[in-house]
Amino acid sequence: MTIFLKNKQTLQIDNFTFKCCIGRGGLTKFKKEGDKKTPKGIFKLGNLYFREDKICKPKTSLKCIKINQNMGWCNDVKFPKIYNKLFKIRNRVKHEKLKRKDHKYDLLIPIKYNFNKPKIGLGSCIFLHLTNDYKPTAGCIALKKKDFLILLKLIRKNTKIRIS
């Protein structure tokens, strides 16, 4: 099963289409850390991370992981061993904090771009996450909560996403 990014504002899976938004810098085959672009390619999806204090555990076949206060995703090129990986937050490491004050990461799925043996500086923290207003992201793909919950029911552990 594959999710298709049909254009900059539409995701499609089977017969379902969802409005979405992507990185402010558009799409690229040559992603760089901080360029605000969404990487092109075909990628596996990771586990579902969710805020139990804001959302009940969703119905999905993905492994569900509760987000806690100390969870971060490393985007610091100075730390190659944990670059583009989930880690326990340390102050000196640049990262995306998963437990945010806004709603964006109440539900998120890592897109496995630059994931296995990540190359430093080629981009990190590329997620499927939530949006309220469809404003451009820093490189992720974002959907409204109601659409994200439908998507979760459709996808499987082996689902991939095609971004072209």
Q: Could you read off the pLDDT of 81-96 as tens digits, one per residue?
A: 999 999 999 889 999 9
pLDDT one-digit tens code per residue, 14-63: 999 999 999 999 999 999 999 999 999 999 999 999 999 999 999 999 99
How large is the average pLDDT for residues 130-135?
Answer: 98
**Rounded Cα distance, 9 and 19, in Å:** 5
Q: What pLDDT sits at residue 147? A: 98
Mean pLDDT for the chain? 97
How large is the average pLDDT for residues 150-163?
Answer: 97
**Rounded Cα distance, 98 and 138, in Å:** 15
Residue the block writes with tokens 């490491």: 93
Question: pLDDT at residue 103 above 90?
Answer: yes
Token readout for 117 is 């043996």
Q: What pLDDT sits at residue 91? A: 86
Q: For the chain, give the percent of residues with pLDDT over 70.
A: 100
Contact (Cβ atoms closer than 8 angstroms) between residue 103 and residue 67: no
**Rounded Cα distance, 151 and 21, in Å:** 15
Domains of the chain: 2-163 (2.40.440.10)
